[in-house]
Amino acid sequence: MYAGIGIAILFVMVFGGFAITGGALGPVMEAIPHELLIILGAAAGALVTGNSLHGLKAFGGSFAKIFKGPRHNRQDHIDAIALTSRLMKMLRSEGAVALEPHVTNPAASAAFAEYPRLLADTPLIALICDTLTLIVVSSGTLEVHAVEDVMDHAMKTHFHEMHEPQHALSNLADALPALGIVAAVLGVVKTMGSIDKPPAILGAMIGSALVGTFMGVLLAYGMVSPMAGRLKQVLEADEQIFQAVKQVIIASLHGWPQPLVVESARSGLGHEVRPGLSELLDALRGR
């Protein structure tokens, strides 16, 4: 929501300020479609050249994240800690045989069924189930630091894929001013081909060419670069739930008391999604 408000403020202030100071919006509005055709067309070509089909799909989907914000809310983080704590408690009290059907087929698990929003998050469920399946099949012979290394590697790979659209958006922001210059240069070439025209016509043609530079810079620093920054914030916020799950598993394997396990996971969450310790403990008791 705030991204849309920011873009609206950007255009109102830039074009409104130009009009208030006596600028004529007519010639600018007339030139913008032609200049954008060149700039955005070149940008689209560069994106297709520099990305795979999977990367392009992820890039397109990233705009929804920019405007909607992080995927996981405060309740999701409570549920993730509660679910993982419940599974680790099952492992300790009932053994690997009782835990195995839940982690090998989470879609059919009564424990996972209580958290439908989490169950829809395939990478998160895969991290939980793959890690616990590894613990189950190893019959408790794995060292805790080895489990932590495996989880870190899995999360690193997933986070790298998550951030690919953000890197593509940042690269696009860096390229847009240069693409605006490309459009401006073509406008100047067109103007030079009409050098025999009256000064009024030449002035309009030069002004139209300069709109290309203006649009390239405006899009880069006013829209695309802030959107890349916002996307980074959203993706980093979505990483927190993975870290919380990891902390519950590792702290439980170390044999820490449950309140300390929960606090170690809770304290790593950002303030917007971090529940109170008492609230979290109450949620655990209610399951």
Q: For 181-224, how does the pLDDT look when each residue is reduced to its tens digit (9 = 90+)?
A: 999 999 888 888 888 788 888 788 888 889 999 999 999 999 99
Per the document, the length of the chain is 287
What residue segments make up the domains of the chain, in order of their start?
32-287
Q: How far is it, in rounded angstroms, from Cα 242 to Cα 123?
A: 9
Residue 281 has a pLDDT of 84
9-37 burial, b if ≥16 CB within 10 A, otherwise e? eeeeeeeeeeeeeeeeeeebeebbeebbe
Residue 202 has a pLDDT of 78
Mean pLDDT of 229-246: 95
Token pair listed for 199 = 């000064």
| 233 contact partners, CB below 8 Å, separation of at least 6 | none
- The closest alpha carbon to 127, from 98, 106, 108, 143, belongs to 106
Mean pLDDT of 164-193: 92
Which of the four pLDDT bands, split at 50, 70 and 90, describes residue 286?
Answer: low
* Per-residue pLDDT tens digits for 117-128: 999 999 999 999
